[in-house]
Amino acid sequence: MALDETHDPALESFVPTPEGTPFTIHNLPFGVFRPGPGFDARVGTRIGDTIVDLSVLEARGLFDGPELAGRDVFSKPRLNEFLALGRPAWREVRLALSRLLRRETPTLRDDESLREGALLPADRCEMLVPAEIGDYTDFYSSRHHATNVGVMFRGPDNALMPNWLHLPVAYHGRASSIVPSGTPIRRPCGRTLPAGTTTPVFGPSGLVDFELEVGFLVGPGTALGELVPVERAEEHIFGLVLVNDWSARDIQKWEYQPLGPFLSKNFATTVSPWVVTLEALEPFRTEGPVQDPQPLDYLRTAGNPSWDLPLTVALRTEKLDQPHVIAQSNFRHLYWNVRQQLAHHTVTGCNLRPGDLMASGTISGPEKHERGCLLELTWRGEEPLQLPGGEERTFLRDGDEVIITGTAARDGLRIGFGPCAGRIVPAAPLPAAS
């Protein structure tokens, strides 16, 4: 991909864009929303504090390029139909939106009835999960995170498992419990093994944690048995979302051998509702860590392509009026890049479907403040976080809200996702014995 007119720093929109908003005319993310109770869900983009109803623009024939003319993709309650069309269609729509929203373009600006139907206050709309996610895969692609966890449980000499530097490790997650930002997260119940005992007990998890992640949505699918070469992987990647793959560390510790996490990870995964496209991210291209040893041919890329995307985690407790920043990391810290993740996922012939979600795993950097979960930030609870007002945290308590944000800024351009937030609520009552 290359920069084009949609990346011009001089672009301005006739739609008000507050100072510091991540939703600039250079961003134009895609999401699914309801304008209000009783309305059908449909596809929109966001600029400033305004959601643009793309189904209205589509019905007026304003997407008339060769890739989208005559199609009906934005009145759907999901992005999947649009994702399936591929990059030429995505670029065509981005360019059309950019031109329609510019200060000097009268088509939407001067049509009062069209503006009233298409431009909606974001705070009156309900955001949904942006796609119908059939399959969800969670990678483990941060070397700093994997090393820290390995040191905790196996010691520094065996921190990384023998396979970790040779392939992108992952597990298949649960798609049905993926929820949009703002959805309350119920504390999970499960079996744990208390320290110093040999008999497991059942009850609410006492070690609920967040995980700072970024995921991508798959665009065009593939046939069963088809491999996606690493150099063509981005043809199948629509854009990125923020992800919080909540974890119950005590349940995980007891259940994860030999097959990995199960109940400790299936109770909820929060995603940001706005998908930032690779086109919007293009000005923020950078290099990730050097990969040594060199990957096998099917995983080998020119350098380690990534994006300079700063990420922030804030915690709001019931005693704090304002969220308190507890971690700051960056997407560029990932050792295994998204091209490698997708190519590895399909090397067996596993088929892709539009809307599949693949997440990065916890993103941690080399410094303590860059650790992407409480397990690392508090070093298994041995170093509690000190919060304003004298509170401490080792893991999350009921009422705690975790807010993940990601915003990139460079050379007059600013793009971001908005919040990926969730608040822990008490566990469901246990069923009475019969």
Give me the active site residues, please: 145
Residue 16: CB atoms within 10 Å? 10
Q: Give the residue among 171, 127, 165 at the shortest CA–CA distance from 146.
A: 165
Asked whether the beta carbons of 308 and 348 are under 8 A apart, the reply is: no
Give residue 48's region: left, alpha or beta (phi > 0; psi -120 to 50): left
* 271 backbone dihedrals φ, ψ, rounded to 5°: -125, 150
Residue 401: phi and psi, rounded to 5, are -115, 130
Number of residues written out for the chain? 434
How far is Cα of residue 9 from the mean position of the Cα atoms in its chain?
Answer: 26
CB 142 within 8 A of CB 213: no
Residue 31: CB partners within 8 Å, gap ≥ 6? Answer: 43, 44, 45, 46, 51, 79, 127, 128, 130, 273, 274, 275
- Cα separation, 256 vs 211, in Å, equals 17
Longest dimension (CA), the chain: 72
